[in-house]
Amino acid sequence: MERIGFIGLGVMGKPMARNLMQAGYALTLLTRTRAKIEDLLSAGATWADTPRVVAQHSDVVITMLPDSPDVAQAIAGAEGIFAGARPGLLVIDMSTIAPGVVRQLAADAAARGIDLLDAPVSGGETGAINGTLSIMVGGTEAAFQRALPIFQAMGKTIVRIGESGAGQITKAANQIVTAITIEAVCEALVLATKAGVDPAKVRQALLGGSAQSRILEMHGERILDRNFQPGFFLRLHRKDLDIVLATGKEYAVPLPVAAQVRELMTAALAAGQGELDNSSLVMQLERLAQTQVKRA
Ligand code: NAD
pLDDT in tens, 62-97: 999 999 999 999 999 999 999 999 999 999 999 999
Q: How confident is the model at residue 257 (pLDDT cuts 50, 70, 90)?
A: very high
pTM above the 0.85 mark?
yes
pLDDT in tens, 136-165: 999 999 999 999 999 999 999 999 999 999
Ligand 1, CB within 6 Å, residue ranges: 7-13, 30-33, 64-66, 70, 73-74, 95-96, 121-122, 124-125, 232, 236, 240
Q: Is 258:176 a contact under the CB 8 Å cutoff?
A: yes
Active site residue 171: yes
Asked whether the CA dihedral 246, 168, 174, 237 is positive or negative, the reply is negative
Q: Whose CA is closest to 119, among 9, 13, 241?
A: 13
Helices of type H across 23-112: 38-42, 51-56, 68-76, 81-84, 99-111
Q: Which of 171, 194, 239, 294 is catalytic?
A: 171
The closest residue, in CA terms, to atom 41 on ligand 1 is: 232
Select from 9, 11, 75, 175 the residue to mutate for testing ligand 1; criterion: most ligand atoms less than 8 Å from CB.
11
- Predicted local distance difference test score (pLDDT) of residue 88: 97
Q: Which CATH class is domain 4-163?
A: alpha beta
* Domain 169-289, second-level architecture: Orthogonal Bundle (1.10)
- Predicted local distance difference test score (pLDDT) of residue 136: 98
- Predicted local distance difference test score (pLDDT) of residue 221: 98
pLDDT in tens, 152-207: 999 999 999 999 999 999 999 999 999 999 999 999 999 999 999 999 999 999 99
> What amino acid is encoded at 206 in this protein?
L
Could you state, in order of their start, the residue ranges of all structural domains in the chain?
4-163, 169-289
The closest residue, in CA terms, to atom 21 on ligand 1 is: 31
Identical fold, 4-163 and 169-289: no
Select from 93, 236, 239, 242 the residue to mutate for testing ligand 1; criterion: most ligand atoms less than 8 Å from CB.
236
Half-sphere exposure of 235 (CA within 13 A, CB side): 10
pLDDT in tens, 198-247: 999 999 999 999 999 999 999 999 999 999 999 999 999 999 999 999 99
Alpha carbon distance 295, 273 (integer Å) = 22
Q: State the distance from the centre of ligand 1 to the C-alpha of 33, rounded, in angstroms.
A: 12
Task: Please report, rounded to a whole number, the percentage of residues in the chain having pLDDT higher than 90.
Answer: 100
